[in-house]
Amino acid sequence: MTQHFQLTGGWVEVVAGSMFSGKSEELIRRVRRAMIAKKRVQVFKSHLDNRYTGKFAVGSHDGRTVEAIPVDSAAQVAQRLDPDAQVIAIDEVQFLDEGIVEVATGLADQGVRVILAGIDTDFRGEPFGPMPRLMCLAEVVDKLHAICVQCGMPASRNQRLINGEPAHWDSPLIMVGGTESYEARCRSCHTVLRGDQPSLL
């Protein structure tokens, strides 16, 4: 493995963390630096996230952007790959299917530097989509933290609020009616209503 890594120069790096932890900022920083190094760079982002920028850019909460190709499956990433790309970056990778693991590791085997940014835990605090395998298989993992909006400590969790109240464990992932929002919170301030606790839905 080490020898292969040296021969091809390909690898996978994952930037993981909660919402607002600076994953998109970090992905944009790495992409910009690769462009400065005159690498051929291609950026993708999950369709599901259109915040701030519309569909064709990766945006961070501080307003910086880079152009990106919208995708909603690993197969679409594979179809739209630039065969000459030296660096492939994907934002919001947690929303993609498990097929992204094979796409990412296959690219790295071929010598591509693969940069993946994604939320590592869902609103329940459980591992999110393909993130666990990606984090295990990556050469480099950086776990970023936001600031807990309740207590100011480093935040690793995504607090889901429905009509302003903590969401129930069983709450539907797609909301019909009502308003939902998310906050960055630490482990002790993160709340998920379970079992016989009253559902606020």
Q: Among 60, 72, 166, which residue's Cα sits nearest to residue 123?
A: 166
Neighbours of 124 (CB within 10 A): 18
| Rounded (to 5) percent helix, strand, coil in the chain | 25, 30, 45
Do residues 73 and 35 make contact, with C-beta atoms less than 8 angstroms apart? no
Residue number of the CB atom closest to ligand ADP: 61
Selected from 8, 39, 62, 163, the binder of ligand ADP by CB under 6 A is 62
Catalytic residue annotation: 92
The reply to whether 34 sits near Zn ion by the rule CB under 5 A is no
We find the least distance from the C-beta atom of residue 140 to ligand ADP, in angstroms, to be: 17
Shortest Cβ 38–ligand ADP spacing (Å)? 25
Q: Which does 150 bind (CB under 5 to 8 A by kind): ligand ADP, Zn ion, none?
A: Zn ion
Residue ranges in 20-39 that form contacts with ligand ADP under rule CB under 6 A: 20-25
Q: Does 50 bind Zn ion (CB under 5 A)?
A: no
Q: What is the spatial distance between Cα 101 and Cα 84, in angstroms, rounded to a whole number?
A: 20
Which amino acid is residue 84, in one-letter code? Answer: D
Which of ligand ADP, Zn ion, none lies near 191, with the C-beta cut-off 5 to 8 A by kind? Answer: none
Q: Which is nearer to ligand ADP, 110 or 188 (CB)?
A: 188
Minimum CB separation of residue 116 from ligand ADP in Å reads 12
Largest CA distance in the chain: 57
Among left, alpha and beta (phi > 0; psi -120 to 50; other), residue 148 is beta
Residues near ligand ADP (CB under 6 A) are: 17, 19-25, 60-62, 146-147, 149, 184
